[in-house]
């Protein structure tokens, strides 16, 4: 399968899952727009290296996904968007009655409202071409809940609802919209938590991963950014032309429980 000639924008892609998704799309031949809210030399260097590695055009465009006008400006600045991966996301953990209002607003803005703005901005161009893919990185927490993550879970459930609505509005026009719902993915952020968890629980690495971190993930294995990337590439393939308005769980069985 080749995505040569397609331009993919991946929001929140200077690390973790977004970067892994960009890598997989570039390996499949797509030109890439990386994004985050910073504008550092290393952000641009990341895009340059990605482009060289896969012999595709890759750029980094700064845009803060907590701001609607910047979400829309990102799509305009890319000068075309065939594949939109809404991935930017943050987390905050606190009981609902103590949840800081500004954190609630920020999580809703970055994790949910940004996908509304970018999708609205990208859809007309996709419709005009008769081909487009919108992939929203939701979460197992888009389908099920855990305590103390009210904003994140509300936002991710919202992403699943937005996914279904956009899919219906674009149905039959060559444009699909789906959500991927990962369980725990081994990103640098999660990797960095392992030593502290080992210390806190006085367990070795394998035990703390299996018995503490992946307690709710029946496979007791992390998903990987490569697996999320591969799922996005599948959704961009002709095999997925009729896959729209749905969720694909990559969660080691979490939501089957
Ligand atoms: P991460 O922190 O490595 O990546 C988040 C990305 O979003 C970063 O590139 C960051 O720079 C960017 N970002 C944050 N605020 C932004 C803003 N205002 N504007 C633009 N970009 C911004 O985390 P990750 O684990 O790779 O998470 C990526 C997505 O996957 C998130 O939506 C997250 O909710 C989802 N997810 C992660 C896991 C997991 O276990 N890691 C599981 C399920 C879902």
Cα(221) to centroid(ligand 1), Å: 20
Question: CA 40, 42, 44 angle in degrees (round to 5)?
Answer: 80
pLDDT of residue 192: 87
Asked if residues 60 and 43 have their Cβ atoms less than 8 Å apart, the reply is: yes
Residue 2 lies in a domain: no
Q: Which of 60, 148, 152, 234 is catalytic?
A: 152
Residues 15 and 139 in one domain: yes
Looking up residue 90, the CATH number of its domain turns out to be 3.40.50.720
Can you give the pTM of this predicted structure?
0.98
What digits encode the pLDDT tens for the residues 189-244?
899 889 999 999 999 999 999 999 999 999 999 999 999 999 999 999 999 999 99
What digits encode the pLDDT tens for the residues 95-111?
999 999 999 999 999 99
Residues 204 and 98 in one domain: no
Query: Does the C-beta of 14 come closer than 6 Å to ligand 1?
Result: yes
Tokens representing 256 are 């089957």
Query: Does the C-beta of 143 come closer than 6 Å to ligand 1?
Result: no
152 catalytically annotated: yes
The total of structural domains in the chain comes to: 2
Residue 1 lies in a domain: no
Residues 214 and 96 in one domain: no
First-residue to last-residue Cα distance in the chain: 34
- Confidence label for 1 from pLDDT (cuts 50, 70 and 90): low
pLDDT of residue 38: 98
Mean pLDDT of 130-141: 98
Residues 121 and 214 in one domain: no
The minimum-distance atom of ligand 1 relative to the CA of 189 is 3
What digits encode the pLDDT tens for the residues 145-164?
999 999 999 999 999 999 99
Cα(19) to centroid(ligand 1), Å: 10
Strand blocks (E) in the chain: 7-10, 31-36, 58-62, 83-86, 132-137, 175-182, 247-250
User: Which SS3 state, helix, strand or coil, does residue 79 take?
Assistant: coil
Range of the domain at 161: 7-185+223-251
In the predicted structure, residue 142 carries a pLDDT above the cut 90: yes
Residues 125 and 192 in one domain: no
């Amino acid at each position: 399968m080749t995505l040569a000639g397609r331009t993919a924008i991946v929001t929140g892609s200077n690390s973790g899952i977004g970067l892994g998704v960009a890598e997989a799309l570039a390996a499949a031949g797509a030109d890439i727009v990386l994004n985050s809210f910073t504008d550092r030399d290393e952000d641009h260097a990341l895009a340059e290296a990605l482009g060289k590695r896969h012999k595709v055009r890759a750029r980094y465009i700064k845009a803060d996904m907590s701001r609607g006008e910047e979400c829309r400006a990102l799509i305009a600045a890319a000068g075309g968007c065939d594949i939109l991966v809404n991935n930017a996301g943050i987390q905050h953990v606190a009981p609902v009655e103590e949840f800081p209002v500004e954190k609630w607003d920020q999580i809703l803005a970055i994790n949910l409202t940004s996908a509304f703005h970018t999708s609205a901005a990208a859809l007309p161009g996709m419709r005009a071409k008769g081909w487009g893919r919108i992939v929203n990185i939701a979460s197992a927490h888009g389908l099920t809940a855990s305590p103390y993550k009210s904003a994140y879970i509300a936002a991710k459930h919202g992403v699943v609802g937005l996914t279904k609505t956009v899919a219906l509005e674009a149905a039959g026009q060559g444009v699909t919209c789906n959500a991927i719902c990962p369980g725990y993915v081994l990103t640098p952020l999660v990797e960095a938590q392992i030593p502290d968890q080992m210390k806190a629980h006085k367990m070795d690495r394998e035990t703390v991963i299996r018995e503490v971190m992946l307690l709710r993930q029946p496979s007791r294995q992390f998903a990987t950014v490569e697996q999320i990337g591969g799922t996005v590439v599948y959704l961009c393939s002709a095999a997925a032309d009729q896959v729209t308005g749905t969720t694909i769980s990559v969660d080691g069985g979490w939501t089957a429980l």
